Structure 1
Amino acid sequence: MNLESARRWLRGGLYTLAALQTFVSLWQYFLPRSFFDDFPTVKLDPPYNEHLLTDVGGLGLALAATLAIAAWLVDTRVALAALTGYLVYAATHFAYHVTHFADFSLGEALGVGTGLGLEVVLALLLLHTARLLLRAGRAMAGVDGPGRSDGERHAGEGFGD
């Protein structure tokens, strides 16, 4: 398999995984009762749902690993991907909680809303910073467009260069 074929295979595989995960995740997020009632095996879980909690914990660990790799590589493109994923999670988590405060005390609501809101704001600020660094690196390299297919890093694309 040549390099271009490998890239096409990787791209197709990533799109396939993203599509499958998007389908299940949208169903879970927007129609949680339907997912619980209609997805095979989920309704077989008991009311305390260890399966659900460990799956969510695993997803959180996956997101943490992605953010840590982005920090270790200090490449703006990787950081943009990791931060975009984190922002989707943080924003949907924040949106759920701020619309479900009925049983919270004022202090609990303020604590949860503020803490989760700060995560969204920090992710937005970091995403903006990564976009500025990527744009500056491309301007220095004289590159236009979303990226290259040659796999090379050029000056300014990694913010640890």
Structure 2
Amino acid sequence: MKPGSIKKWLRGGLLTLATLQTVVSVWQYVFPRSFYDDFPTVNLDPPYNEHLLSDVGGLGLALTGMLYFAAWVLDSKVVLSALIGYLIYAATHFTFHVRHFDHFSLLEAFGVGTGLGVEVVLALVLLHVAGRVHRAESDPPAT
């Protein structure tokens, strides 16, 4: 695969993650009560806390900005830092949920686990690709 096509694929993946994070984060930040009441399975978590949800939404928006910026500039160091931050968030979010399925139906647990797991896998794949791009860009040209 040529570096140009890898970068296009990488940009598409970054924009996908950024778009998903935008939807959830804006909903959490702007309409925290609606997120708590209407997002599937959130009502199975501990009681509603507007401050916590709006803060988490704001943090998600910050991460969203990093992902969009990384997709725009495609500087390998920026891309790697955005993906590392996203992966940490996605992995800890996934880990929390797979350990707290007590009140979930099998279908709810499968949906949450799969959805959050896909985000972790996509971030890992993009991180691998970004690492390869970074190494290729960092290697001195052969003479």
Band the TM-score falls in, shorter-chain normalisation: 0.5 to 0.7
**Equivalent residue letter for 1:98:** V
Counting aligned pairs with the same residue, the percent is: 65
Output aligned runs, 1:36-75, within 5 Å: 48-75=48-75
Q: Give the corresponding residue for 2:89.
A: 89
Q: Give the corresponding residue for 1:31.
A: none
**Equivalent residue letter for 1:132:** R
Give the secondary-structure state (helix, strand or coil) at the position aligned to 2:139.
helix
Q: Give the corresponding residue for 1:35.
A: none
More helix by share: 2
**Equivalent residue letter for 1:67:** L
**Equivalent residue letter for 1:135:** R
1:137 paired to 2:134: no
Moved more, 110-119 or 132-141: 132-141
CA shift, 1:77, in A, is 0.6
| Uncovered stretches (5+) of structure 2, i.e. residues with no partner | 1-46
Q: Give the corresponding residue for 2:79.
A: 79
What are the Cα deviations for residues 76-135 of structure 1, in whole angstroms up to 9, with x where unaligned?
110000000000000000000001001000000000000000000000000000000010
Structure showing greater radius of gyration is 1
Superposition TM-score, scaled by structure 1 size: 0.57
CA shift, 1:141, in A, is 4.6
Instruction: Quote the Cα distance in structure 2 between the aligned partners of 1:53 and 1:132.
Output: 36
Superposition TM-score, scaled by structure 2 size: 0.65
Q: Give the corresponding residue for 1:112.
A: 112
Instruction: Quote the Cα distance in structure 1 between the aligned partners of 2:130 and 2:140.
Output: 15
**Equivalent residue letter for 1:123:** A
**Equivalent residue letter for 1:107:** L
Q: Give the corresponding residue for 2:19.
A: none
Extract structure 1 runs of 4+ deviating beyond 6 A: none
Greater RCO, CA 8 A, separation 6+: 2
Q: Give the corresponding residue for 1:153.
A: none
| Uncovered stretches (5+) of structure 1, i.e. residues with no partner | 1-46, 143-161
Q: Give the corresponding residue for 1:148.
A: none
Q: Give the corresponding residue for 2:122.
A: 122
CA shift, 1:140, in A, is 3.7
**Equivalent residue letter for 2:106:** L
Equivalent pairs counted in the alignment come to 96
Aligned-residue CA RMSD (Å): 1.3
